[in-house]
Amino acid sequence: MRVFVRAIAPALLAATVLVAGGCVWKTPMSSVVAGSDYNRAILHVYTIVTWVTVVIALVVFLALAYVLARYRERPGAVASTTPGLPALEIAWTIVPALVLLVIAIPSIQIAFRTQGKPRPGSLEVTVIARQWWWEFRYTGLDVVTANELHVPAGRPVLLKLEGPDVIHSFWAPPMGGKRDVVPGRLNQMSFTPEVPGEYWGQCAEYCGASHAHMGLRVFVDTPDAFDRWVAAQRAPAAEPQGAAAEGKTIFAGSACVGCHTIKGVSGGILGPDLTHFGSRTTFAAAMFPTRADMLTAWIKNAPALKPGVKMPALGLSDDQARAVAAYLVTLK
């Protein structure tokens, strides 16, 4: 006991403080900060579970303390010969079942409510999960983008989840729970974003070498900002000047065009649509910030930066890669 108090207890305390110090409540990927009605509903279940757990812990610890004090070993004490208390045993079987029921009812309600029929006036987006990036196709808006989903606050959103390769899982915690993207099956997720802001997400189903590098961003815009974003995405690709114009020529004459679309320049569909690449804050599924130097390294040798990536090393010179990067970042 003395060893524990002197040596181990302070070490445990220090470890607890350090670990707890790493907890931050409000982060872009926090599941305990609600950015949508879906996540608010999940937090409601969290609250129920937390309070139920607190009550159970109190009851168990008080009962334990009572038994330890009341029946501790004393001189002359005789071991109990009570054969059992059927009423108590029935009670502690039924009560946990009831507790599970109390948690199950709202959980099942939320699961059904967020994947059923689309709500009236929904913004519909097809989410295509691929190894290892996300494509977002806005129904009826002629907008296609990658890895960064923009949605307006206050309007219901319906995500239709599709995948051509393996199982992925769409997960942006402040927007709601995980939902699997299963090839050959249409899963849906409906929610209403409520709080404008930038939220982070991540593929939540192991899907191969770069599963860990399959991040995403959700931008909840005010309705006006969203309309402006849609208008900008629908506009033709910007016409570059200077070094960027040279980059466009190199791009158009390279293998890039086989996989990427830039409206008016190329029509490939294997990789992300780059028509408004420069309007995104990150690239390579949220792995890197959209900066010309990062992009130059990526264009030169993507496989060196992201394991398993389908984009090959293109064999461009440093100057060529720099020019293509300069072109792409101008595509706002």
**Which positions lie near ligand CUA, rule CB under 6 A?**
129, 132, 168, 203, 205-207, 211, 214
Nearer to ligand CUA by Cβ, of 179 and 322: the residue is 179
CB pairs under 8 A, 24+ apart, for 234-238? 234/141, 234/142, 234/143, 236/263, 236/264, 236/275, 237/262, 237/263, 237/264, 237/265, 237/275, 237/276, 237/331, 238/278, 238/330, 238/331, 238/332
Angle between helices 37-70 and 86-113 (to 10 degrees): 170
3-state SS assignment for residue 141: coil
Which burial class, exposed, middle or buried, applies to 179 when counting CB atoms under 10 A from its CB (0-12, 13-18, 19+)?
Answer: buried
Nearer to ligand CUA by Cβ, of 42 and 203: the residue is 203
The pairing of strands 282-283 and 266-267 is unpaired
3-state SS assignment for residue 124: strand
Min CB(19)–ligand CUA separation in Å: 27
Nearer to ligand CUA by Cβ, of 64 and 186: the residue is 186
Gyration radius of the chain's alpha carbons: 27
Pairwise CA distance, residues 277 & 257, whole Å: 14
Min CB(88)–ligand CUA separation in Å: 47
Nearer to ligand CUA by Cβ, of 213 and 248: the residue is 213
Nearer to ligand CUA by Cβ, of 61 and 206: the residue is 206
Pairwise CA distance, residues 215 & 221, whole Å: 19
Nearer to ligand CUA by Cβ, of 156 and 176: the residue is 176
Min CB(134)–ligand CUA separation in Å: 9
Pairwise CA distance, residues 330 & 326, whole Å: 7
Min CB(1)–ligand CUA separation in Å: 48
Nearer to ligand CUA by Cβ, of 51 and 206: the residue is 206
3-state SS assignment for residue 159: strand
Contacts of 27 (CB under 8 A, 6+ apart): 33, 200
Min CB(130)–ligand CUA separation in Å: 8
Min CB(165)–ligand CUA separation in Å: 9
Min CB(307)–ligand CUA separation in Å: 13
Pairwise CA distance, residues 20 & 14, whole Å: 10
Intra-chain end-to-end CA distance of the chain, in Å: 66
Min CB(220)–ligand CUA separation in Å: 23
Nearer to ligand CUA by Cβ, of 165 and 198: the residue is 165
What DSSP element (H or E) covers 164? none
